[in-house]
Amino acid sequence: MTHASLTIIRREHRALSAMLRTISLLLAEHKRRSTLPDFDALHAMLFYVDEFHEKLHHPKESRLLFPSLRGHDASTDAVLDRLERDHARGDQSIRDLEHELVGFQMMSDTDQCDARREKFETSMRQYVDRCLEHMHIEETEVLPLAEKALTAHDWAALDAAFLANRDAFAGFEADEVYRPLFRKILGSLRISGVGSALEALAGAAQPKYSSEQ
């Protein structure tokens, strides 16, 4: 039996993977060209990650999915502990990235530009690696166990929670308030001319679980 929440979780993972891959592609291409990135587009993309994944997707996993799997065995509990730690530090990680991006932008016309760029790009790579590894663990260990262990009551609560999500990059019609955000991101990528990034964000690329892929 296919559960709506499982489908949505996987689609949202794919959307986040595509967004992170897009950011990485954009940064790499601008560095190759020795040009500055579109800072407004990067701010919009980080805001998307914060709003739809750090503040919406992860809390629902922590509140509804993970507790229903605890006590299955010690190994599972250890995995869930690790994933919970990832969720707990997510807010601070995204705040740090946003601050470093502001620093890069504000100092981009000074002799600190290269150092600020390197600091932001290094932090971004580390964040991408953590997120992709986190999703890999969920996809290969947590979700398969959920399919075997959750009750009908568990699935009803999960399905109701995740069906309320409206992530346009996961294939849903966005709430009106977020439509300008999605239009801005897509419009910025079309202008950038980085076709592979636009393809990734459109969902044509399968999720990657390593920033090197």
* Structural domains in the chain, sorted by start: 4-201 (1.20.120.520)
**Which residue, among 194, 168, 183, 201, has the nearest Cα to 17 in the 3D structure?**
201
Burial 108-120 (b: 16+ CB within 10 A, else e): eeeeeeeebbeeb
| pLDDT tens track, the chain, 213 positions | 689 999 999 999 999 998 998 999 899 989 999 999 999 999 999 999 999 999 999 999 999 999 999 998 999 999 999 999 999 999 999 999 999 999 999 999 999 999 999 999 999 999 999 999 999 999 999 999 999 999 999 999 999 999 999 998 888 888 999 999 988 988 888 777 665 666 666 553 343 444 444
Supply angle C-alpha 27, 213, 62, rounded to 5: 85
CA 150 from chain center: how many Å?
25
Rounded to two decimals, what is the model's pTM? Answer: 0.90
Cα–Cα distance, 49 to 94 (Å, whole number): 8
Supply angle C-alpha 121, 49, 16, rounded to 5: 90
